[in-house]
Structure 1
Amino acid sequence: MRKSFDLPLFWRVIAINGAVFVVGTAALALSPATVSTRVVFSEAIVLAVGLTVMLVTNGLLLHNRLAPLDRLSRQMSSVDLLRPGQRVSPADAGSGGVAALVASYNAMLDRLEAERSASAAAALAATEAERARIARELHDEIGQSLTVVLLGLKRVADQAPPQLSEELELIQDSARASLDEVRRVARRLRPGVLDDLGLLSALAALASEFTENTGLPVRRGFAPGLPALDPQAELVVYRVAQEGLTNAARHSGASRVELSLSRQGDAVVLRVADDGHGLRGAEDGAGIRGMRERALLVGADLRVGSRSGGGTEVRMVVPVRPRAEVG
């Protein structure tokens, strides 16, 4: 390891200023120029030129040393841990104390991104576990209780006098609608079809349910022969597609939506696009930031932007990880 004898930044500035003034003083002392008791115009010009040269030289030398600090400051003000890979290039830092500062800053970002990824993974895993628990309780407890209520109402309706039949039928319809809503909520919380039938069937069911609930048609395009994803990546793809469709229904004012899965080399590409009014420069909301956090968990590249023909496009490229890396 090479030993460094670089001075702190403060002493570097002092040294640069001192060197410039020493050189300027020596130049004036050794030059034939003299200054009268009362400075004449020609002497004033010489002094002004000398001062200008010293200032310009000092500015150029300081700029060379301090410019990387300006770049580092701009980077610090715009860094977003949900957009990994933002670093200050070591080539732009020069050498010495500034280079060490840039290296420390980049190492800090590496550590923060790793810690955020780990904490986000733990938080999202806990969220999914809680979703699964609530979905089971809705299905097994509330769903079964409503089923018992429906069966009881049917028995009562069969034995009730005709004047009560219409009222009992309305109560049955209300209970049946509540049971259907409980089942829909349970499916949204934990898509059982994803575990039972796989990602493509889950996305197809999601699109059908979306159209049924919102009236927006969804054009589906699932390429054949897609590489298999691990369970965590499949869940991320499903949740991002779910959030993309939800945003299209709530915010875009779209008349149709596209949902597709395709292959790009050894990666799977999810695309959710609509023909609405686009983002219009809006900041990322909680939904988009949630999608970015999920994408980071599986090393996916997520991009959300406006389409050239109008509307919004969510595009996520999910790498296929070797089985040894899964878990």
Structure 2
Amino acid sequence: MPLFWRIFLLNAVVLVAAAALLLGPITVSTPILLAEAAILTGGLAAMLVANALLLRLALAPLRRLTRAMTTTDLLRPGRRPAVSGHGEIAGLITTFNTMLDRLEDERATSSARALSAQEAERRRIAQELHDEVGQTLTAVLLELKRVADHAPSDVRAELRQVQETTRGSLDEIRRIARRLRPGVLDELGLASALRSLTTEFAGPGLTVGHRLDAELPALRHETELVLYRVAQEGLTNTARHADAHHAELTLRTTANGVELLLRDDGRGLGDAPEGAGIRGMRERAVLIGADLALGAGPGGGTELRLTVPVPDRSGRP
């Protein structure tokens, strides 16, 4: 039973018992007058209503705190219930907010470690694909060419087909390695990396446009990497699940910082729950203090918006 009803019913029992005593063995006059009974009944009703209103007002901060507890998500930080009420209730809300601050800091620290380890593992796998598998397939291609040049004409065509298959596999491995380790991000910068990313995802059934500001404020390497990975995951979702024909990637400077915007004309999110990809994007956004919004676009489809606060020259965001 909720705390409100427990307190209210306890008070109601006391008040009803007092009224029963006044109407029973303890009376103002004998026999009891109808006017006295009406006054006592009206007084009891007034006391019960006043008691209910006072309890509602006193326990309202607890109800707000309960709603905050059920809706809190560490991947959407910064939301706090307002400290209200008096005494123990205000102290309870303050303690809850302090606990959220600690949990969000611990979550950000653990996410930073996990994402750093993930990027290191991606670099290692990409390096091994490039150095080991890539070089092996390159050697196979050269050997196939040498054998095909000396093979009889009836076998040569089959060897050429094997060459093309091997060359396609080598291109696919190089593409996977580029996705695992965006070397163009380190070498040419964020704008060039995003431009290359849109070209990579464009295909026969999907056109991907881009609008990238030429002048961007100085960003940390971690911030650029998060912007790139969020754009990569968003385009991956568009290509695989959105059933879209056109997508537009925008990177621009706003009054709030740097904004990455991805829109498509697909079927939208609907009622589908957030998967691991979207939660991964939220974790990356939390890592750099960015705000990630995902919903329906103005003309339908899906809109992904990542806003990264950029500190000014004084160091303030």
Write the distance in 2 (CA, Å) between the matches of 1:106 and 1:83.
14
Write the distance in 1 (CA, Å) between the matches of 2:53 and 2:117.
55
Matching of residue 277 in structure 1 with residue 267 in structure 2: yes
Q: Deviations over 1:208-232 (max 9, x none)?
A: 01014x6311111012211121111
Conserved in 2, the CA contact under 8 Å of 1:229 and 1:321? no
Q: What residue number does 1:222 align with?
A: 212
Write the distance in 1 (CA, Å) between the matches of 2:155 and 2:190.
47
Given the superposition, is the C-alpha separation of residues 321 and 140 from structure 1 closer, same or farther in structure 2, using an over 3 Å criterion? farther
Q: Deviations over 1:111-155 (max 9, x none)?
A: 000000000010000000000000000000000000011111111
User: Within 5 A, what are the aligned runs for 1:312-323?
Assistant: 312-321=302-311
Q: Which of residues 243, 258, 274 in structure 1 aligns to 2:233?
A: 243
CA RMSD of aligned residues (A): 2.9
Q: TM-score, normalised by structure 2?
A: 0.88
Q: TM-score, normalised by structure 1?
A: 0.86
Given the superposition, is the C-alpha separation of residues 168 and 240 from structure 1 closer, same or farther in structure 2, using an over 3 Å criterion? same
CA drift at 1:305: 0.9
Structure 1 runs not aligned, ≥5 long = 1-9
Aligned residues: 306
Percent identity for Structure 1 against Structure 2 = 56
CA drift at 1:36: 5.0
Matching of residue 256 in structure 1 with residue 246 in structure 2: yes
Q: What residue number does 2:288 align with?
A: 298
Conserved in 1, the CA contact under 8 Å of 2:290 and 2:309? yes
Q: What residue number does 2:150 align with?
A: 159
Matching of residue 87 in structure 1 with residue 85 in structure 2: no
Q: What residue number does 1:207 align with?
A: 198
Q: Deviations over 1:278-322 (max 9, x none)?
A: 222333221111111101111111111101211111011112247
SS across alignment from 1:283 = coil
Matched AA of 1:264: T
Matched AA of 1:201: S
Deviates more, 1:149-158 or 1:315-324: 315-324
Q: Which of residues 94, 99, 102 in structure 2 aligns to 1:108?
A: 99
Write the distance in 1 (CA, Å) between the matches of 2:310 and 2:191.
16
Conserved in 2, the CA contact under 8 Å of 1:193 and 1:201? yes
Write the distance in 2 (CA, Å) between the matches of 1:136 and 1:199.
21
CA drift at 1:272: 0.5
Q: Which of residues 40, 45, 68 in structure 1 aligns to 2:61?
A: 68
Q: What residue number does 1:138 align with?
A: 129
Write the distance in 2 (CA, Å) between the matches of 1:198 and 1:106.
39
Runs of 4+ off more than 6 Å: 322-325
Conserved in 2, the CA contact under 8 Å of 1:279 and 1:306? yes
Conserved in 2, the CA contact under 8 Å of 1:271 and 1:314? yes
Q: Which of residues 174, 177, 197 in structure 1 aligns to 2:168?
A: 177
Write the distance in 1 (CA, Å) between the matches of 2:184 and 2:144.
31
Matching of residue 46 in structure 1 with residue 46 in structure 2: no
Q: What residue number does 1:311 align with?
A: 301
User: Within 5 A, what are the aligned runs for 1:32-43?
Assistant: 34-35=27-28, 39=32, 41-43=34-36
Q: Which of residues 94, 103, 109 in structure 2 aligns to 1:118?
A: 109
Matched AA of 2:242: S
CA drift at 1:34: 4.8
Conserved in 2, the CA contact under 8 Å of 1:34 and 1:43? no
Write the distance in 1 (CA, Å) between the matches of 2:303 and 2:289.
20
SS across alignment from 1:278 = coil
SS across alignment from 2:202 = helix
